Copies of this chain bind each other. A is one copy, B any other.
Amino acid sequence: MRPSGRQLDQMRSISIETGVMRHAEGSCLIKMGDTHVLCSATIEDKAPSFLKNTGLGWVTAEYGMLPRATNSRTRREAAVGKQGGRTQEIQRLIGRSLRAGVDRSALGERQIVVDCDVLQADGGTRCASITGGWVALRLAINRLLKAGTITSDPIIDHVAAVSCGVYAGQPLLDLDYPEDSVAGTDGNFVMTGRGRLIEVQMSAEGASFSREEMLQLLDLAEIGSGLLVSAQKAAVE
């Protein structure tokens, strides 16, 4: 029924391997089926200048994709000379989502940069980046806590993301690339461990959708988000 053969509300297999980059303060390789993203968190002692003397920290993200992560080779953005609109949109989303789960006052005037690099793409790379980016962030903050650099945990809650879409009139959870490319409507849902929403982005490509379809996708996203948060918990323990 689905191109992937999965049930409508069935996630792809989730794997999160931590500590995969020896230099980073926190890192993981997250695999959502054939979508593989390497995430690292870097602690910088200085916050951006607009936060000077505010006592607040910052979390930001950068996103990249290896040229041959995709079916046909994509030009390397460093060679093109700029990050494309899609890349910028995604990295802004990742940063905003992760910040929503952090008490920036408890973090203090420092910055954590989360890098999400897609090694292999099969749909849902921005969602995998948020989910894996949170794990890298959690591990980096653990290190700050363990070293006594900060004393109160700035992490408020888990942050995880999943995509859903309408395919042949049916709502599907966790789209892979073949599903995503034909779905008339799809959405990305970023949620907390307690099931609240941080970001909702729904789009109709050449179509439109109703309030009911929106709620059906949200129902699926809640299922997926719960599973992702469980995987995050297992990974960071």
Contacts and interface: CB of A to CB of B under 8 A. Distances in A.
B198 A120 contact: no
Interface string A81-110: 111111111011000100110001000000
A200 interface: yes
A22 B69 CA distance: 8
Contacts of A197: 202, 204, 208-211, 214
Given A67-B62, A68-B21, A78-B87, A73 B199 contact: no
A179 interface: no
Interface residues of A, number: 68
A27 interface: yes
A91 B66 CA distance: 15
A46 interface: no
Given A82-B82, A83-B78, A200-B201, A68 B27 contact: yes
Contacts of A69: 21, 23
Contacts of A207: 100
Interface stretch (A3-11, A34-42, A227-235): A34-42
A145 interface: no
Chain A interface secondary structure, helix, strand, loop or mixed?
A: mixed
A214 B202 contact: no
A24 B69 CA distance: 8
Interface in A43-69: 44, 62, 64, 66-69
30 contacts: A21-B66, A22-B34, A23-B68, A23-B70, A38-B66, A40-B68, A42-B68, A62-B67, A66-B115, A78-B78, A78-B82, A85-B85, A85-B88, A86-B92, A88-B89, A89-B89, A89-B92, A96-B205, A100-B205, A100-B206, A104-B206, A157-B208, A196-B208, A197-B202, A197-B211, A197-B214, A198-B203, A198-B209, A199-B203, A211-B215
